[in-house]
Each structure stands twice: as C-alpha cells, then as structure tokens.
Structure 1
Amino acid sequence: MNNPPWPNGKKVVHLDLKGAPPKVEYLHQLIECFAQLGADGLLVEYEDMFPYEGALKVLQATAQPAYSRDQILSMQKVAKCKGMEVIPLVQTFGHMEFVLKHRPMWNLREVPNCVGTLNPHKEEGLKLVMEMLRQVVELHPDLKTLHIGADEVYMLGEGELSKLWLASPGRTVEQLFLNHIASVVKYIKQVWPHMTIIMWDDMMRGMSLDTLKASGFVEVVQPMLWDYTPNLDVEKTVSLLEKYYGAGMQHVWAASSFKGSTNVHTNVPSTQRHVENHLQWLKVAASVSSGLNIRGIAMTGWQRYDHLSVLCELMPVALPSLAACLQTLIHGQFSPEAQNKVTKLLGVSSVEAESMGSTSDDATLFPGKRLAESIVELDSLLCVEDIRSFERNMYVRGWFSPYHRSRRMANPLIAVQIQSQASMYLALLQQKIDVVREEMSHLYPNSTAQEWIDEHVSPVMGPIQRIIEEITECITEIVPENRYPFQL
C-alpha cells in the first residue's frame, strides 16, 4: 500500500555550517538546487560561521572567516527569490560546544568536562543566549520562525549549583530543563511577540503529560521530533506526537535525515537508507490525529555530529540522496517516476552516489558534481583492503615486521618489492587527492580540504609512507653503497 504524499507542511533542508561551510557562491547554487528539487525552506545552523559582534566576536570561526553580514543577507535574498523561508537554528542549552570551548566561557558550563551544556543557574549564561538570539534575529529581516535547539543537554543536573537546586523536595531534572527553556521562550516572546518558536523534542520524550502541561510554554513552542533511522518505529513516533498534542502543542514538526546520521565519519551516504527513513515518516504523517498539525519536516544534513567531531559526508556527494528523499515525500513513495525525475534533474544514472555514473547531458542541476565524483573515486580507493591494511600485507608481515625494522634487518630483494608496491599505492592515492583538493578549492575554504584529507586520507597514507622510509633506512645499511637497485 502506497503512502499519501507529505501533507501541506514545509519541506525544509537543514544547512549545518559547523563544518565544511560552502563558499558563498556555492551556497547560492545549493539553495537554487534545493528549490528546484522541491524544498521550500532552509533550517540554517550557523554556529561559528555567524558574524557575531562585540563581546561575542570570540565565537567566530578561526579556521576560515565567518560569513560577513552582507553574505548572510545575500543568502536570504537568494532563498526568498526561490520562495524559501529561512529558519535560523541557535542552540540555547545543549550542543553549545562552539561557545563553551572558549576560555572566557568555561565558567558557564554545567560541569567542567562537558563542553556542550550551559549552566542553567547563571544569569550570565542566559544573557549570553539572549544576545546570541538578538544578533541572529536582527540580521534576518522579517524573520517569522526561530529554532532554539535544546537537544541532547548532556550532564544536566550534575553541576554543583544544579545539585543544590535539586536538593529541595519535589524538584527534578525535568523541571530544571523546562525552567531554562521557559526563560528563553519568555525572552523571545517579549521582544518578538509574533515569532514562531521550534525546539528539538528529545529532552521531553520521557516527560509525562502533566509535566509538559505545567511547563508554561506548550502553547507557544512547536516540538520537532527527530528520528533518522531507516527502521523508525511508526507506532511509537505517532504516540509521542499525540502526547505533545495532548499537552497543548497543536503544531509539531518532523525531522528526517538525508546525510550525516549513518556514522560519525561516513564519506558517502546510502540513498536507500535515507529514502527508507522518509518512507517511515510518510507512514507517521498518515497516522496522526486529524487535529494535529504537522507544520513541516526538516531534512537534516549533519556536517558534524557535534562541533568537536569529524566531518560527515560533504553536501555534493549527498545531493542524490537529498533529491531522492524530497521526491519520495512529494510522490508518497520512491516510484519509478520519482527516480526518473531525480536522475534527469541531476544528470546521473543512479541515485546511489557510489554508482551514480553520468549522463551525456552536461547541463544538469548538480552543483559540485565533479567533487562528488572525485570523492566517490578516492573513497573507493581508500576502502581497498590491500591499501587500507598495507601493514598486514603478507610480505610486510613476513619480511619487514616491527622486529625487522627495529633491528634494521631485512631481505633486500623482498624489501624492494614491498617498497615498489607501496610507492605505487601512494602515487595512485596522491593522484586522486590532487583532484579532490582542486575540486574542493572551488566550493569550500582551504581549511575544509585540508581537514578532509587529514581525517580521511592521511591515516591510510601515513603507515605506507613510514614503511617506505624505514625500508630506505634499512636497505642503506645492508646493501653496498650505490648498489641499491630501487630508485627513490
């Protein structure tokens, strides 16, 4: 049985800028692409790429310059021209790593060893959040909707001030969470009365109906329930949404995923996995009460799991997944018609990035296609077992083990064969790296290219390079001078 298409609510693409922030020209191309693929909104998580000013200037990125005020405005202009609403996401409680990592803000952490969670008892922390919100809202003229984050507030209640607060009878960690959110919401509504407020739902999932009702903000906050798994539990998710509805939250949001949720270090997404996630969400949307208004779905594309983790899949290599997921929502299934539309729009023969191939028509809607192709090629090479596990090669294990290396002892004939093989692999990798770096330089800051290579390529190349160097040192000690047959 096919699902009905996604209801009238918005289809919003999440732009996670806390890693691999696109150059502004590429950002404009992506927004136009999203619109043509069927999206009608952007959920923009700026983090340290926002041009914070004054006392908050320390929050700006240092690996590359933050976007300028003019660039932020230009991004909104492009989105508006395409009929897309821009919704900024500003973390206000959890996942504040990009703020609390800075030494002047250390004292605002809930506990010293948790960089992400704000101490809810310090007025200075609330003022910091309010100033962040103020600067972001003021740089978004005519803003209608604001996302205040509030997911994964780790270690809440573990700080000394929280323990003192919780020592009073009847007080709970749930109330501690709700009190802080209530303060943030109250500020927003006082300054911008007509602002729609969204927040992640996970910290409220275990709360009772009565607890939620007593929070004081259920009528003015719209929860965004996230689940990125291909086997999403439809019945449980519907039950959760109905609970929020019963507590007075008539407007809710869903959050799916088109990339950045498979593994913390994934390079190339599985389109099928993400399509299945969206098929489950379609079942949820078809099963909720008629009075419950699903305002939209945010299709998340995490660039890092958090501010301090490695890069996930870059946007170009995930565009086939995004296109397939959007068409799944529009058609109610990933039908042959939906698949044909994706392959035609993107100029690919398959929606799976690993085998997307190409069509003869170069005039396709796929900004960053060359980078996507070069990443797929390099990632495929990095996964070759003979390269990834070169140190476990039979000849290396048998004739150039750590024992041999430590004693500068090796069979010269076999050592030279090992070195020849290693050099060939390195040359092959370097050729692919040069292409990736060149293509990436057009779309991303140099810091992103360097980080991507350091994280994904260097760990594979490093051991091979060391073997070459150690063989050279060893051979020079056991072969007469000028008789070493291998040219370095």
Structure 2
Amino acid sequence: MSNKRILMLLAICLVVFAAAKLFFNSQSTSKMTHTMISGRIWHLTGLNNLNINSKLKVKGILNAPVERLTRPLRVVHLDLKGAAPKVSYFQQIFPLIANLGANGILLEYDDMFPYEGDLEVLRSPFAYNVQELNEIKWLAGLYNLELIPLVQVFGNLEFVLKHEQFFDLRDGGSLQNSLNILARGSLKLIKEMLTQVLKRHPQTRWFHIGAHEILDHGESKDSNNWSKQNSQDTRLLLISYMTKVCQFLVELKPGIKPIFWEDMLRNISLNLIEEFDLSSIASPMIWKFDSNIDVYQMVNLLHKYEQAGFHTVWFASAFKCTSGISQRWTPINYHLENHLAWLKVIASISKHSNIQFGGIVLTGWQRYEHQTVLCELFPVAIPSLAICLAALKYGSINHKAETQLQRLLGCNVTLKTNMCLNTGTFAGSEIYYMVHKIHNELENSIIKITKDYHLRGPFSPEQRKNNSYPSNIQYFKKELTRLVKEWDYFMKSFKMEMIAIYFPDTVEKWMKENVNKYMNELHSVAKVVERIS
C-alpha cells in the first residue's frame, strides 16, 4: 500500500473520531443525569449550564448512599433566615446528611432566594445568585436528596412585610408578620413569589407553603369587617386562601403536591374543612417539637385529617432551635426524645388505611422569627441531627446506630454529657468545639478574674479612676494579660472558621450576641490596667 493511501486512511480515521467525539459530547451535555457505577463514586454524565469548577472540600469525601429510599421520606429542614451558609458548605453537608439516612432537603429560602423584578427588594445582600442556586440543586441531586422548596405564604412573612412598599399588606396585628389576605395585591404578591421559586425548581414534586403559627390572623380592619358582614369565623378565610394558593400551584405545575403546616386546622371542624377542595390537592404536615409529645393527641389529629379526606399526611420533628429562643448549645437528649415519641406516632399509621405517610421532616430552625436572635448554628447541631436520623432509621439508638454515628462523625455522641467526645471530623466540627468552649468557659473565665480580691477591692470600678495603686495591679496583671491574649487569639481563629462557612452578617450577629459583651469587659479592664501601671 502506498504511503499516500496510508496517510489518506489515517486522515479519514481522525475525522471520524473527531465527529464521534463531538456527537457524544453534545449528547452528554444535553441534560443533567447522575448514574451510579458499581464499585465507583458518582459519575457525572453531563451538566447543563452549571459551573461547578468549585472547591469540593468534602470532609472525608463521602459517596452517595447506594440505597435510594423512596417513601416515606426522611427530610432535613434547612432554615436560611439568619445564618444561611455559603454554597461551599452545602458541598460538605449534603453527603453527610445523605449518609446519615436522609433522602430529602426542605429548603426554607426566606430572603436568600434570587428574587427578580419587583421582588428584588426581598433579597438579602448575601442572597444566592442563580448559579449558586443551580449548584445547590445539583448537589442535592448528586446525593439523592429530594429538594423541596418552602415559601411562606401567610404568616412568618417579616422578610417581605418589613419593606415599606408592602406595609399596606400587613394583617394589622401587633406582630406585623402576617399577610392581610383580603388586601388588594396580597394574592398577586404570593403568586409572583411562588412562580419565581417554582421556575427555579422545575423538577420538584412537592412544594411547602408554610402557613403555621399565624398568631395575629384576623386582627386587620378588613378581616373584622368581613367577619361581621358574613357572620363567619375568619378561619374560613384561612382555608379559602390556602385552597386558592394550592390550586394556583397545581395549575402552574400539574402533578405537584403542595404541603402546609396544619396547626391552624386543629381547632377547625371537619365540616368546615370538607367545604373546600384543600384535601384533594394538598397534604397537612403535623408538627410537634417538644421533648414531651402527647402521642395520643397526634394520633387523634391523624384520624381527623383522614376523616377530612386528606390522602397523605406528613410529620415534623425538630433537631435544633426549639428548646429556647437564644439557645447556643443543642440539648441532644431533648431532641432525641422528640423523635422517639414520633416513632410511636409513625407506628400507628398502619391503623389508618385511607391515608398515606409521606415522610417526616426534621426541622432545624435558625431563629424563631426573621428579626429575633440566632439559635444554635448548624454545625453545633450536627450531632443532634445525626442521632435523631439514626433513631428514625434504626428505631432506637442501638449498637448499629452508634457504630454508624462514630464512623460518620468521627466521635462518640454521649447523651450523658450532651457532647460529641474526641475530635470529630464532620463538616464544621471546628466550630462545634469552639462554640462549646465559648459556651462553657468564656463567661466563667471573665467572672472568675473579676471576682479576684484585688480586682473587687483595690481595683473596683470606682478605684479605677486613677485611685488604685500600681502595686495592687501586679497581683492580677499577669493572669489578666494571659487571659486577654488567650481569648484574642482564640476569637481570631474562631472568626476564620466562621467566615469559611457563613457570610459576614451572620458572623457579626453571632459575635454580638454571644461574645462581644464579655470580650469588651475584658479589654476594658486590661486597658485601665495598662494606663495605671
């Protein structure tokens, strides 16, 4: 064969190879799919308009669980109002959450959603952009976590109603956090919010509309006038409104299943609930976050909603932020007891043949309201979340559960000490142990030195006005200097760990609420000592 013919054949082969490569590359990027290859980590067969050239610093690099659960779901609630993490932290916690036994995420956006147009004012200065939102969705899919958006449509709307252009949509109560559903523009506002969020979540099968603890509902002038004119309870307005919102969602995306918090239905008669079409299009989520659940009451609610015609019911527990409005350290036992009680309620489902169990959401509130102080940070609550998920997965905290917890967290969770002993390796464990030190030692160390004999006597606040002798200061100056240096260095390291996970506003808020008053006092004393000595 001549050299010329050989070169021609080689050229043809190269052209065919290039064409085939171009074809398969275009096929693989046409849509995002995830496949599990036996014996290997997750393989991405394609990404669509998603930049993930990001730092996947996953502690311990956990693969997606091989077992993919369907229903009932075990869903972890991430509340973004007040301490929303950076996307890089989602990269670390999603694999952990999945391996702990969850298969869903309930994402309560609050002001972190990238609202557009007239709603752009709702966005926090640190709100996720569309690219970041896409990365969060991609990560959830990668780890088999069903992503369910939550948008409040009635109560807990402080992040909307705090803006002047929406003042006239307030319900008029003292709390000013509920929507006046009779005001012109209210339903239009909610529809636009839902439309924008659903547009960014086209694959979602469920959508949570909130609607719990509407404490000042019916206090507006409009509501009172309506009640007088129609001789009806304003709770009728609530059901009518919720039905309209759910119908809108179903029209917007046929097949979607709206979910709502059900506490406002608890004292409403069956007849009133049955007057509306709510039971055919939406599902109630029964919630109780206390450590001492009345199981009998929860079972009765289950029976009531079955009679009302609901086809599916969900439950909601809590793994953090329900034991105190300013709780800093998560009481694991408190939350474990909550989940063990829910297991008893779940066991009763089999007695109700006409209603299905959709799943349980482990709520992780970040603060009680949009404008209240922060509760426990998410890293601080990870051991609580882990043990609560283990209880749901294994039915109790048995040896198998303990082994899994130690493997995934890198430490032993002990209920007696309410602590993850040893050095944990879970994402955010540095913050976990540093918050523990702040919680247990910061205030006590300040109190201890300020109770020193020479500080209380010769160096009391009155004596600090240049009346104290330098010789008296020498008795405590060395210890004071050591304490200042130790805590200053510690806080510098702590801030670095916080900034790696949280935005600056969260770091500043947490420091103001938990650290600054103690450090300011320490520095104040040290400054006077330096001046006098």
Scaled by the length of structure 2, the TM-score of the pair is 0.81
Match of 1:430 in 2: 488
Measured on the aligned residues, the alpha-carbon RMSD in Å equals 2.4
Q: Distance in 1 between matches of 2:524 and 2:205?
A: 56
Q: Distance in 2 between matches of 1:279 and 1:112?
A: 37
Match of 1:478 in 2: none
Match of 1:117 in 2: 178
Checking the alignment, whether the CA contact within 8 Å between 1:52 and 1:135 is kept in structure 2 is: yes
Unaligned 5+ runs, structure 2: 1-68
Checking the alignment, whether the CA contact within 8 Å between 2:212 and 2:264 is kept in structure 1 is: yes
Q: Distance in 2 between matches of 1:311 and 1:93?
A: 22
> Residue deviations 1:141-193, cap 9 Å, x none?
22211000001112111111112112225311311322221221222222223
Aligned pair count? 462
Change (3 A) 1:170 1:22: same
Q: Distance in 2 between matches of 1:155 and 1:392?
A: 47
- What is the aligned counterpart of 2:110 among 11, 23, 47? 47
Deviates more, 1:34-43 or 1:68-77: 68-77
1:293 aligns with 2:351: no
SS of corresponding position for 2:317: strand
Checking the alignment, whether the CA contact within 8 Å between 2:289 and 2:316 is kept in structure 1 is: yes
Q: Distance in 1 between matches of 2:227 and 2:472?
A: 68
- What is the aligned counterpart of 2:120 among 57, 73, 76? 57
Match of 2:399 in 1: 336
Match of 2:88 in 1: 25
- What is the aligned counterpart of 2:224 among 153, 157, 163? 163
Deviation at 1:251, TM superposition (A): 0.9
Match of 1:307 in 2: 370
Deviation at 1:41, TM superposition (A): 0.5
Deviation at 1:472, TM superposition (A): 5.8
* Structure with the greater alpha carbon radius of gyration: 2
- What is the aligned counterpart of 1:201 among 246, 251, 262? 262
1:381 aligns with 2:441: yes
Match of 1:369 in 2: 429
Change (3 A) 1:321 1:159: same
Deviation at 1:240, TM superposition (A): 1.4
Q: Distance in 1 between matches of 2:70 and 2:204?
A: 24
Match of 1:323 in 2: 386
One-letter amino acid matched to 1:88: P
Match of 1:459 in 2: 517
Change (3 A) 1:243 1:422: farther
Match of 2:292 in 1: 231
Checking the alignment, whether the CA contact within 8 Å between 2:329 and 2:376 is kept in structure 1 is: yes
Checking the alignment, whether the CA contact within 8 Å between 2:306 and 2:352 is kept in structure 1 is: no
Scaled by the length of structure 1, the TM-score of the pair is 0.88
Checking the alignment, whether the CA contact within 8 Å between 2:443 and 2:518 is kept in structure 1 is: no
Checking the alignment, whether the CA contact within 8 Å between 1:354 and 1:376 is kept in structure 2 is: no
Deviates more, 1:26-35 or 1:171-180: 171-180
One-letter amino acid matched to 1:93: F
Residue correspondence of structure 1 range 221-260 to structure 2 within 5 A = 221-260=282-321
Match of 1:356 in 2: 420
Higher relative contact order (CA 8 A, sep 6+): 1
1:34 aligns with 2:97: yes
Residue correspondence of structure 1 range 6-17 to structure 2 within 5 A = 8-17=71-80
Checking the alignment, whether the CA contact within 8 Å between 1:117 and 1:156 is kept in structure 2 is: yes
Q: Distance in 2 between matches of 1:29 and 1:348?
A: 17
Checking the alignment, whether the CA contact within 8 Å between 2:173 and 2:216 is kept in structure 1 is: no
Deviation at 1:341, TM superposition (A): 1.1
Deviation at 1:199, TM superposition (A): 0.4
Deviation at 1:428, TM superposition (A): 2.6
Checking the alignment, whether the CA contact within 8 Å between 1:339 and 1:351 is kept in structure 2 is: no
Q: Distance in 1 between matches of 2:204 and 2:466?
A: 68
Match of 2:161 in 1: 100
Question: Percent same amino acid at aligned positions?
Answer: 35
Q: Distance in 1 between matches of 2:179 and 2:437?
A: 42
Q: Distance in 2 between matches of 1:387 and 1:456?
A: 14
Q: Distance in 2 between matches of 1:355 and 1:57?
A: 42
Deviation at 1:377, TM superposition (A): 2.3
Checking the alignment, whether the CA contact within 8 Å between 1:378 and 1:432 is kept in structure 2 is: no
Checking the alignment, whether the CA contact within 8 Å between 1:223 and 1:253 is kept in structure 2 is: yes
SS of corresponding position for 1:224: strand
Checking the alignment, whether the CA contact within 8 Å between 1:7 and 1:285 is kept in structure 2 is: no
SS of corresponding position for 1:67: coil
Q: Distance in 1 between matches of 2:418 and 2:388?
A: 17
> Residue deviations 1:408-464, cap 9 Å, x none?
544654455455554443333222211211112222223322222121101222233
Q: Distance in 2 between matches of 1:414 and 1:125?
A: 67
Q: Distance in 2 between matches of 1:191 and 1:135?
A: 11
SS of corresponding position for 1:194: coil
One-letter amino acid matched to 1:387: I
